[in-house]
Amino acid sequence: MLKSTFVGKSVPRKEALSKITGAAKYIDDLSFPGMIHGVTVRSPVARGRLKKISFEGDLPWNEITQVTAKDIPGENCVAVILKEQPMLVDGMINHPEEPIVLLAHPDRALLEKARKNVKFEIEALPSVLSIDDALSKKAVVWGSDNILKSYLVEKGDISQAFAEADLIVEGEYTTGAQEQLYIEPNGMIAVANPKDGVTVWGSLQCPFYVHKALKTLFGLPDDKIRVIQVETGGGFGGKEDYPSLIAGHAALLAWKSGRPVKIIYDRAEDMAATTKRHPSRTRHKTAVTKEGKILGMDIDFVLDGGAYLTLSSVVLSRGTIHAPGPYVVPHVRIKSAAVATNTPPHGAFRGFGAPQSIFALERHLDVVAARLGLSPEEIRRRNFIHQGQQTATSQTIKEPVDFDKLMDRAFEMSHYHSKIKRFEIENKTSPIKKGIGFAAFMHGSGFTGSGEVYLASVAGVEATSEGRIRVLASSTEIGQGKNTVFAQIVADALCVDVGLVDVAQPDTSVVPNSGPTVASRTTSVVGKLVEDAAKGLQATLRQSGFLGESYTSAQFQEACLVYLEKFGSLKTLSQYKAPPGIFWDDEKYRGDAYGTFAWAVYVAEVSVDTRTFEVKVDDFVAVQEIGRVVNPLLAQGQIEGGVIQALGYAIYENVIWKDGRMANNRMTNYIIPTTMDVPRVQVHFEEVPYAYGAAGSKGIGELPMDGPAPAVINAIAHATGGDFKHIPLMPEDLMRILT
């Protein structure tokens, strides 16, 4: 009998062979008989009233399928959280790139000509294009005040903190948008008709999100909607809610044309039209004693949500809760809001809200330390949270938290203290200034507050007719290694070989709703459901008398086959239940925000050329505690990839807006880090198993996006003495601030 031998090992990826041989099929590899192509015709203005649509030019319009809002059989909306975003414009236009008309035809070249010959008569209206414009009500484009969503978190009495403080430090910090830039653009294929319903295949993260949207759009029952995820080349949150829109468009064209329809965005359209990370503005007012104890934090956190709410409430929530960081603060007030602007809606992106607010906090604490005459290290050590203490939402930390140990390890690996001394000497004579900086932070695992309870996710396992085990979950493989990790968890739960475990491709007609593949919940939360279901299947076999206490993989297979022969099926499901002692008050926004947190300290070393104002990240150390590490190689890859993505956020990736539209929507002028720009990333894990996560795991995917930006900017500040409060920090910004 095998004993827990796969969790904790870097077993090969389940899908590796199919991908390296080219057998894996992505959405643009698929083709169906009679399939035609679809395109979207979009708004040319940021805000206005649509008066007329004209189909012009010498084109065979009678051969081209045309869909407008009047062709929608159900509700004209993209059903996500609210139903506020239309699937197609019907009157009001609220952002450039907003879909107005859909076209389909077998000839792609003809379609492109047709797209250019669809003309609109639009009454232009005043637009709102920034957070400041929205808050000043330059024009009211949402409700009565442009506020899409707001939260208030209060603990203690912030006025008391200011009254008792020896020093009050204020600062304002801003972050820009960021493009997810997944390796594969958005794409969908749809087959749809009134008799059979709607089936879509797509590159996506959340099959049941798409299912809900299509059900609403067509007014059909659950069993008439089917969503199948195909191989997906990355998501990072950019394929969380947006696939509902493109799936709806493909399905509407298929419904009207009676033929399968494929819509694949090219890179320019994908970058211009889809969601991005929310730009933000954070204002800190911090009360401290002369000894460096933080008495109070008054934080004002604002996100630019774009034209519709979509997922902004979720992103705002995460950013709000993470804004005070991993520190013990007696008095806290956080006021947060997502505001409406006339840009395409901003959406989920790895870290979703936390990278914005953590950047502001960790940059601000370096400023506070300098004002007190303390080192950045010392102010954090004097305020770190520990087991038994409370977060800003009054959540008592029930597990061991040793930030001093994480910091010691990160400083040891990076040679932090010796480099501070060395750089101080070298920088006096060299035009290339060296600096080192760090960030300490946390990230909650799973959905916030009552989110997981509301989802009531279900996952399962079943025995197949070959005596194999198949995992049933709607969690998607998008490059992060979900298939492999699930197989490891199940193999150890059942004490069988990992090669005996398969993972079903997410298909809403086959797998239960396990919730979305977001929020660092797949391994820890859904994996726990899978683990419990596997143990339930094992118990069923034992109770039936077909399986003893000790067995081999072959004996387990034989037991499954005997059971199937006698009873016909062998499947167990598990539904989410909150860990004991968890309570969250949605009204007061107080209580246990997350079942657990991952904790980290990241250190960045940089060189700044004061002649060209170029910044190079020379070395990076990432130390984190994420519970038990299920697959070390995959976990390391998650950290390395997240760090590199966050370096882009910090100093490379600058979205240029012009009249509400992304002006640099090409990979030639939207610059991301390349292999030439990436430093060595040293990764270290501390393991403190979490009792309610699969195999003791916590979330990992979002964490590495949170800390690199403040660590890098703090390092640049250390190198140059500059005061930097915005990312991305581009060379021209450095030149302006330092000269």
pLDDT at 698: 98
Q: Backbone dihedral region of 241: left (phi > 0), alpha (psi from -120 to 50 degrees) or beta?
A: alpha
DSSP bridge partners of 470: 462, 502
Q: State how far the Cα of 240 lies from the Cα of 215, in Å rounded to an integer.
A: 17
Q: Which residue has the tokens 């509902």?
A: 244
| Mean pLDDT of all residues in 616-622 | 98
d(CA 524, CA 168): 40
pLDDT tens, residue by residue, 42-78? 999 999 999 999 999 999 999 999 999 999 999 999 9
Quote the pTM value.
Answer: 0.97
Residue % of the chain over a pLDDT of 90? 99
Angle at the Cα of 24 (from 529 to 244), degrees rounded to 5? 60
Mean pLDDT computed over 357-362:
99
Strands laid side by side in the 225-229 sheet: 65-67, 99-105, 36-42, 261-264, 187-193, 197-202, 225-229
Tokens of 364: 């601000």
The answer, yes or no, to whether residue 722 has pLDDT greater than 60, is yes
Q: How would residue 391 be classed by pLDDT, with cut points 50, 70 and 90? A: very high
* Residue 321 near residue 315, CB atoms below 8 Å: no
- The pLDDT of residue 716 is 98
Number of H helices, E strands in the chain: 20, 28
In sequence order, the 6+-apart residues with CB closer than 8 A to the CB of 349 are: 178, 180, 236, 237, 238, 275, 276, 277, 278
Give residues with Cβ within 8 angstroms of 10, minimum separation 6: 631, 632, 633, 634
Q: Are strands 469-472 and 458-463 parallel, antiparallel or unpaired?
A: antiparallel
Give the SS3 label for residue 671: coil
**How large is the angle between the packed helices 354-372 and 312-322, nearest 10 degrees?**
20
Q: Is the pLDDT of residue 3 over 90?
A: no
Name the strand (E) or helix (H) holding 659.
none
Dihedral sign computed on CA atoms, order 646, 649, 650, 651: positive
**Class of CATH domain 16-25+457-575:** alpha beta
- Position 654 scores a pLDDT of 98
- How much is the pLDDT for 178? 98
* pLDDT surpassing 90 at residue 373: yes
Q: For the segment 530-565, what is each residue's pLDDT rounded down to a tens digit?
A: 999 999 999 999 999 999 999 999 999 999 999 999
The 8-class DSSP code of residue 353 comes to T
Please list, in sequence order, all residues whose beta carbon lies within 8 angstroms of the beta carbon of residue 268, skipping any fewer than 6 positions away. 665, 666
**Arithmetic mean of pLDDT, 455-474:** 97
What's the CA gap between 352 and 350, in Å, rounded?
A: 5
Q: What is the C-alpha separation between 439 and 701, in angstroms, rounded?
A: 18
Token pair belonging to 612 = 């060209």
Q: Which amino acid is at 260?
A: P
Confidence tier at 453 by pLDDT (50, 70, 90): very high
pLDDT of amino acid 79: 98
**How large is the average pLDDT for residues 229-237?**
98
Do you know the residue count of the chain?
739
Helices 242-257 and 207-218 pack at an angle, to 10 degrees, of: 40
Show the tokens assigned to 617: 């990240």
Q: Domain residue spans in the chain? A: 16-25+457-575, 31-125+181-273, 280-448+588-738
Q: What is the pLDDT of residue 470?
A: 98
Tokens of 229: 């995820």
250, 257 contact by CB (below 8 A): no
**Token match 């008054």: residue?**
298
pLDDT of residue 334: 98
How far does CA 538 lie from the centroid of its chain?
Answer: 34
* Closest alpha carbon to 540 in 500, 569, 511: 569
**Does 2 score more than 60 pLDDT?**
no
d(CA 534, CA 532): 5
pLDDT at 153 over 80: yes
- What is the C-alpha separation between 276 and 653, in angstroms, rounded? 12
pLDDT of residue 4: 64
- Residue 618 banded pLDDT, cuts 50, 70, 90: very high
Distance linking the first and last C-alpha atoms of the chain: 70
- Please state the φ and ψ torsions of residue 242, each to the nearest 5 degrees: -65, -35
For the cut 80, the answer to whether the pLDDT of residue 18 exceeds it is: yes
Whether residue 341 contacts residue 276, with contact meaning beta carbons closer than 8 Å, is answered with no
Per-residue pLDDT tens over the stretch 172-227: 999 999 999 999 999 999 999 999 999 999 999 999 999 999 999 999 999 999 99
SS3 track for 6-30: CCCCCCCCCCHHHHHHCCCCEHHHC
The most distant pair of C-alpha atoms in the chain lies apart, rounded to whole Å, by: 83
User: Cα(206)–Cα(156) distance, rounded to whole angstroms?
Assistant: 39
Distance from C-alpha of 392 to C-alpha of 593, rounded to nearest angstrom: 10
CA dist list (Å): 364 to 84, 225, 361: 36, 49, 5
- Surface-to-core class of residue 248, CB atoms within 10 Å of its CB (0-12 exposed, 13-18 middle, 19+ buried): buried
pLDDT at 1: 53
pLDDT average, residue stretch 226-237: 98
- What is the distance between the alpha carbons of residues 24 and 130, in angstroms, rounded to a whole number? 43
- Cβ neighbours of residue 141 closer than 8 Å, sequence gap 6 or more: 47, 94, 127, 128, 134, 307, 340, 341, 342
Q: Would you say residue 519 has pLDDT above 80? A: yes
Q: What does each C-alpha distance from 613 to 175, 618, 716 come to in angstroms?
A: 20, 15, 11
Residues 133-151 as b/e (b if ≥16 CB within 10 A, e otherwise) read: bbbeeeeebbeeebbbbeb
Please answer whether residues 329 and 683 qualify as being in contact, where contact means their C-beta atoms are separated by less than 8 angstroms. Answer: no
Distance (Å, rounded) from C-alpha 201 to C-alpha 693? 31
The fold adopted by the segment(s) 31-125+181-273 is Aldehyde Oxidoreductase; domain 4 (3.30.365)
Residue 675 neighbours by CB under 8 Å, 6+ apart:
none
Q: Which of 295, 286, 285 is nearest to 383 (CA)?
A: 295
Q: Which CATH number fits domain 280-448+588-738: 3.30.365.10, 3.90.1150.10, 3.40.50.11610, 3.40.50.150?
A: 3.30.365.10
3-state secondary structure of 167: strand
Measured distance CA(181)–CA(44) in Å, rounded = 23
Put the strands of the sheet holding 432-444 in their side by side order: 432-444, 597-609, 615-625, 680-686
One fold for 16-25+457-575 and 31-125+181-273 = yes
